[in-house]
């Protein structure tokens, strides 16, 4: 005997028509809406290569539709994705199906956003500078979306004239909306023409987060650092204080786990890759750090494309205890 027939969830009926390109909310054409693959920025021009029938039939998303950079799992098992083409926040079920309208940011507009493509020069954020980081707080109550850098429009910057200062944007997954609460953070590097970006952020305790700051200088890297902040601890200007947790270019390796590395003593290890873009807690005293390979970017050897690397780093005390204090 067959079991009871499950009633489809409300969003399943919507998905039959497709959430994207449905004339509601953020209206987007995706690869599945075209007969041939596109090339170039935005929807570009036709490549003449037919879109795979399975993509069209299942309305499958591709890397040409969204630039996925960060992911956070909600308490109900669904996933929130931070991406860079909007930048948008995207809500997927546990099986990878988009279940809500993309959520645009109220201020940040990428050059690849459909609005900016239709109206060139209206973007407010640099290309590929969207939500590299998206993380829930320790209680799983709010998400924090963090762009790689501050807006390109000076008037929209938290501190006009200072490219180092960007904001963490608080987002309520229950209402699928930004709360309006933000926190100011100052990166290292120059006040103008700043070359440092935020690679990722993760919660390590109540109101405590570890961030990656990195440059894009490859083998000439100067800044690959982990910092920790406490959302309750700011300086006189209201900018979050930060403490250095780890310099990834100068890691103690007393047992020489990393093996021989050019230019380093046996008791040292480094993580010099361009795209250091993942940090997560593996325990109270341990952090995991990984790279986005960005093949064929180089890392340790100028002649060899970087392999994917993931390291775990142990600390002598809980990472959360390294946070700034008033």
The model's pLDDT over 26-59, given as tens digits with 9 standing for 90+, comes to 888 899 999 999 988 777 899 999 999 999 999 9
Structure tokens, 326: 């008033």
- Neighbour tally for 163: CB within 10 Å: 21
Structure tokens, 155: 């008037």
In a domain, 306, yes or no: yes
The domain total for the chain is 1
In a domain, 322, yes or no: yes
pLDDT at residue number 25: 86
In a domain, 114, yes or no: no
In a domain, 37, yes or no: no
The model's pLDDT over 195-235, given as tens digits with 9 standing for 90+, comes to 999 999 999 999 999 999 999 887 788 999 999 999 999 99
Structure tokens, 258: 């990393």
The model's pLDDT over 237-250, given as tens digits with 9 standing for 90+, comes to 999 999 999 999 99
**Domain range enclosing 245:** 197-326
Average pLDDT in the chain: 91
Query: Is 10's pLDDT higher than 70?
Result: no
In a domain, 106, yes or no: no
The model's pLDDT over 263-292, given as tens digits with 9 standing for 90+, comes to 889 999 999 888 899 999 999 999 999 998
Taking alpha carbons only, the member of 71, 68, 73, 72 closest to residue 87 is 68
pLDDT at residue number 122: 95
In a domain, 223, yes or no: yes
Query: Is 5's pLDDT higher than 50?
Result: no
In a domain, 259, yes or no: yes
pLDDT at residue number 17: 46
Query: Is 185's pLDDT higher than 50?
Result: yes
pLDDT at residue number 1: 34
pTM score, whole prediction: 0.91
In a domain, 172, yes or no: no
Query: Residue 16: what are its φ and ψ, rounded to 5°?
Result: -60, -35
Q: Where are the beta strands (DSSP E) in the chain?
A: 36-39, 45-50, 68-73, 79-83, 88-92, 103-104, 131-136, 143-147, 165-172, 177-186, 197-205, 208-214, 224-234, 240-247, 251-252, 268-269, 276-283, 286-291, 310-314
Query: Residue 116: what are its φ and ψ, rounded to 5°?
Result: -70, -30
């Amino acid at each position: 005997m067959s079991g009871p027939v499950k009633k489809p969830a409300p969003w399943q009926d919507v998905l039959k028509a497709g959430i994207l390109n449905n004339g509601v909310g953020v209206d987007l054409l995706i690869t599945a809406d075209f007969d041939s693959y596109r090339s170039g920025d935005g929807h570009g021009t036709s490549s003449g290569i037919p879109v795979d029938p399975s993509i069209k039939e299942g309305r499958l998303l591709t890397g040409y539709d969204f630039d996925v950079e960060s992911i956070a799992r909600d308490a109900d098992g669904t996933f929130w994705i931070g991406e860079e083409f909007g930048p948008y926040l995207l809500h997927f079920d546990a099986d990878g199906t988009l279940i809500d309208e993309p959520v645009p940011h109220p201020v940040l507009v990428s050059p690849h956003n459909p609005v900016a493509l239709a109206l060139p020069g209206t973007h407010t954020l640099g290309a590929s500078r969207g939500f590299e980081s998206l993380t829930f707080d320790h209680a799983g109550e709010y998400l924090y979306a963090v762009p790689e850098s501050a807006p390109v429009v000076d008037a929209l910057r938290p501190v006009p004239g200072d490219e180092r200062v960007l904001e963490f944007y608080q987002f309520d997954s229950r209402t699928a909306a930004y709360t309006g609460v933000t926190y100011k953070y100052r990166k290292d590097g120059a006040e103008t023409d700043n070359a440092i970006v935020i690679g990722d952020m993760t919660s390590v305790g109540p109101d405590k987060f570890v961030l990656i700051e990195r440059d894009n200088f490859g083998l000439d890297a100067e800044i690959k650092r982990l910092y920790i902040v406490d959302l309750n601890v700011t300086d006189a200007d209201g900018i979050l204080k930060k403490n250095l947790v780890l310099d990834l270019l100068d890691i103690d390796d007393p047992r020489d786990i990393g093996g021989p590395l050019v230019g380093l003593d046996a008791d040292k290890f480094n993580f010099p890759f361009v795209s250091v873009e993942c940090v997560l807690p593996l325990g109270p005293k341990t952090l995991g750090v990984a790279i986005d390979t960005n093949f064929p970017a180089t890392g340790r050897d100028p002649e060899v494309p970087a392999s994917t690397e993931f390291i775990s780093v142990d600390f002598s005390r809980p990472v959360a205890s390294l946070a700034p204090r008033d």
